[in-house]
Amino acid sequence: MTRHNFLEDLVTSDTLHMTLVRSTVPSGRITGLRFPEEAKDVHLITAEDIPGKKTLTAFNTEIPLLADEMVRYEGEPVLLAASADSDRLHKALKKVRLDYETDYTLSSLERPETAGVAAETHYKKGNSEEALKNAARVLEEEYTLPGTSPRVCGNLGAWAWYESGDLTVYVTSRWIHHAAEAAAKALGMEKKRVTLRALSPGPSEDCLSWYPSLLAVWAALCSRHTGKPCLLLLNRQEQPFLLPESPAMKLRLRTGLGEDGRISSRDIRLDIDAGAYPVAAEMILQRAVTAVTGIYNCPHITLHGRVIVTNNPPADISAGGGVSSAITALETHITRASSVGERDPLWIRKEYLRSSGSKTAGLRNERHLETVKRLLDTAAAVTDFSRKYSSYELNRKKDTAINGPPGKRRGIGLAINFCDGSFPGEEENDLAGTLRLHLDTKSNLSIQTSAVPGHEATALIWKKTAASILSLDPRNITLLMPDTTLVPDTGPGVFSRNVTVVNQLIKKTAASIQRKRFRSPLPINGKSSFRLPRSVTWDNRTMKGTYFHNLTWAAWVVEVLFDPVLLRTSVEDLTLVLNCGPVLDSQAARSCLETDIYSVLQELTGTPGIIPLHRMIPLSITFLEDGKKESSGLSNLAAGGLSAAFLTALSQAAGHSINQLPAGDETLFEIRVKP
């Protein structure tokens, strides 16, 4: 079988080029669809032309393949079009006219009262209302945090060929079995007659989950309709506007402090923008509320969280799936609370890590508390955090510059955060991710998984893991092509599952083959499915138990230099101390973290030019181990902790609380920073 690396490699002389016609309004009823004369040689496909199921199922949510009567967000696909001549196709589609009826009553995160509620949760511990009334000081803040675009280095798309009742699709997806099932249902076919093969969307350990399945279905529909191979390719200019982001959030946090500066009570209000079709609403909500409750003990807490349906594109579970934004708000707010209580941000964190109390929120257990305390101690010692924070805080209050060019000000920020390496709770068990190994008569091993390694280093880690157990040369180990007819369903490539779930499955399966090896003749096959430990239990109502499995914890310290005249912020020093268990490949791990860090810094400042300058930023990464047996993931680690440390450092330097992202020129200008 020929192995293709790029969609363009598949183009034949009779391949039709595809594109989509999308809604130009965010809400309305389609009343008319008019085609120009130039479109008569163009193949057009509407929702009425779909022979089977007209929706894609993604985590119990139905998303229309093509809008039929109603459109619910701007950019929603309404029409597929294909032609052998791509120039002719685009010229014709410029003259296609869609007519709508709409009153422009829109649901949005800014006006949640207009939106429907897809999921909701309440949690109460103690009496926060009474405690807030009696607090010596109360800090009340609102955070508005946008969704994060997925990091896709290559072009996304799909190529499909329907012939003699069989369908073959190549797609840039890391969940090909989901795409195969969706395509089979849309075309009204048996799944066994559908073959999906994966092409990598580029180097990244966390990628889109359900959206590539839409690409596969659209290409399949077009090939079935035209009888020709069809190529759908989203170019680099289109992708930032078309791909689903992680959910945007609005958080309202009130924290009561006693005379001694200790936190006595917390009130949390959280709204999550799920978009027009709330994919995995319950899971995103639980991830967010667990993260925003945090590892800190507090005797009085009230929490109200909602996932709302808006007229925005549907959100994806990638890029942290609700955790990163919640941690950004929590860690920024905790630092601000320490300032209001005239305490050191390091002191207030360590104080609540020492406190005994309820093990609520799925995070607060002895192992996590000890891990975080050790990370904080190490990061603070390396950066001289407490001394610098006190010095910069004193000069902020005096409104003077320090240790820099005239007029420029320094700030330093501290934050802790975590990332997880699998789906939480029963979600992972429902996926039942499966992997097979085959040891042939010549002791060559093949790894059979639908997982697509995000980096070459990931593939090498898989091979080394199997090789160490079976005493093989990694060069005698191959990865079978991700093809639904050849490999089992290992689940989607999100939350660092490639390093955690897949690697654990390789260990488990290789061990089973090793046990058979000296009492059974070759060849030997092994197959394993992933199940979370029985200790992973969770009660949504009481928020007790263990919600996350196999966490990576990190402590961040960021030091910035701020120019209040030019409104420019430069990162002067960045320190990361983390515990991700055994580091399988230190060079690859550092590379992954550095890529995340520089991407997040670009998003934080809204300054694309920061990436070419990244080597000028002093960056220290320290891995601490505590005897954990399994490695945990690194995906999305920078998004929460780095964001919070950067915001608090910039707020200290600027002399104003900055509660929204990106913190670029426009945001800084709006708060009218005084030179």
Q: Say which CATH number the domain at 525 has.
A: 3.30.365.10
Confidence of residue 355 (pLDDT cuts 50, 70, 90): low
- Work out how many domains the chain is built from and give that number: 3
Question: Which among 427, 444, 424 is positioned nearest to 551, based on CA atoms?
Answer: 424
Statement to judge: residues 236 and 254 lie in one domain: no
Statement to judge: residues 592 and 664 lie in one domain: yes
Amino acid residing at 132: L
Confidence of residue 357 (pLDDT cuts 50, 70, 90): low
Query: Do residues 145 and 330 make contact, with C-beta atoms less than 8 angstroms apart?
Result: no
**177 assigned to some structural domain:** yes
**134 assigned to some structural domain:** no
> Cα–Cα distances in Å, from 52 out to 187, 188, 484, 652?
5, 4, 21, 58
pLDDT digits (tens, 9 = 90+) for 408-424: 889 999 999 999 888 87
Asked whether the whole model's pTM tops 0.75, one would answer: yes
**138 assigned to some structural domain:** no
Q: Which residues pair with 30 in a beta bridge?
A: 100
Q: If you compute the radius of gyration of the chain from its CA atoms, what whole number of angstroms results? A: 26
**127 assigned to some structural domain:** no
Confidence of residue 4 (pLDDT cuts 50, 70, 90): low
Task: For residues 655-664, give the mean pLDDT.
Answer: 82
pLDDT digits (tens, 9 = 90+) for 512-524: 999 998 889 999 9
| Lowest-confidence pick of 241-245, 414-418, 499-503, 647-651 | 241-245
Distance, first Cα to last Cα, the chain: 66
Query: Do residues 110 and 308 make contact, with C-beta atoms less than 8 angstroms apart?
Result: no
Question: Which among 288, 287, 376, 395 is positioned nearest to 335, based on CA atoms?
Answer: 376
Distance CA 80, CA 605 (A): 37
pLDDT of residue 363: 80
Statement to judge: residues 564 and 658 lie in one domain: yes
**428 assigned to some structural domain:** no
Confidence of residue 241 (pLDDT cuts 50, 70, 90): low
How does strand 551-563 pair with strand 568-579?
Answer: antiparallel
Last residue of a domain, one of 187, 207, 242: 242
Last residue of a domain, one of 222, 242, 262: 242
pLDDT digits (tens, 9 = 90+) for 28-85: 999 988 887 767 778 989 999 999 999 999 998 999 999 998 999 998 999 999 999 8
Statement to judge: residues 204 and 300 lie in one domain: no
pLDDT of residue 307: 95
Confidence of residue 465 (pLDDT cuts 50, 70, 90): very high
Statement to judge: residues 343 and 466 lie in one domain: no
DSSP annotation string for 406-449: TT-EEEEEEEEEEEESS--HHHHHHHT-EEEEEE-TTS-EEEE-
Confidence of residue 612 (pLDDT cuts 50, 70, 90): very low
Q: Rounded to the nearest 10 degrees, how much is the dihedral formed by the CA atoms of 76, 109, 646, 569? A: 70
pLDDT of residue 611: 44
Statement to judge: residues 256 and 367 lie in one domain: yes
**578 assigned to some structural domain:** yes
Distance CA 285, CA 278 (A): 11
Statement to judge: residues 258 and 396 lie in one domain: yes
Confidence of residue 595 (pLDDT cuts 50, 70, 90): confident
pLDDT of residue 403: 47
pLDDT digits (tens, 9 = 90+) for 85-99: 888 888 888 888 889
pLDDT of residue 284: 93
Is pLDDT of 405 > 60?
no
pLDDT of residue 550: 83
pLDDT top residue among 661 and 304: 304
Most confident of 152-166, 211-225, 313-327, 650-664: 211-225
**124 assigned to some structural domain:** no
Statement to judge: residues 349 and 414 lie in one domain: yes
Statement to judge: residues 510 and 627 lie in one domain: no
Question: Which among 295, 316, 361, 321 is positioned nearest to 121, based on CA atoms?
Answer: 361
**Alpha helices, H only, 199-342:** 211-226, 239-242, 281-293, 323-340
Is pLDDT of 236 > 70?
no
Is pLDDT of 6 > 80?
no
Distance CA 347, CA 219 (A): 57
Last residue of a domain, one of 481, 507, 529: 529
Q: Which residues pair with 413 in a beta bridge?
A: 558
pLDDT of residue 116: 87
Statement to judge: residues 161 and 294 lie in one domain: no
Residue with tokens 């399988």: 584
Look up the domain containing 636 and give its range: 248-423+540-670
Statement to judge: residues 237 and 343 lie in one domain: no
**278 assigned to some structural domain:** yes
Distance CA 23, CA 239 (A): 16
> Cα–Cα distances in Å, from 288 out to 388, 409, 554?
32, 34, 18
Confidence of residue 2 (pLDDT cuts 50, 70, 90): low
Positive/negative CA dihedral, 586, 587, 592, 598: positive
pLDDT top residue among 162 and 234: 162
How does strand 16-22 pair with strand 230-234?
Answer: parallel
Task: For residues 216-231, give the mean pLDDT.
Answer: 96
Statement to judge: residues 650 and 590 lie in one domain: yes
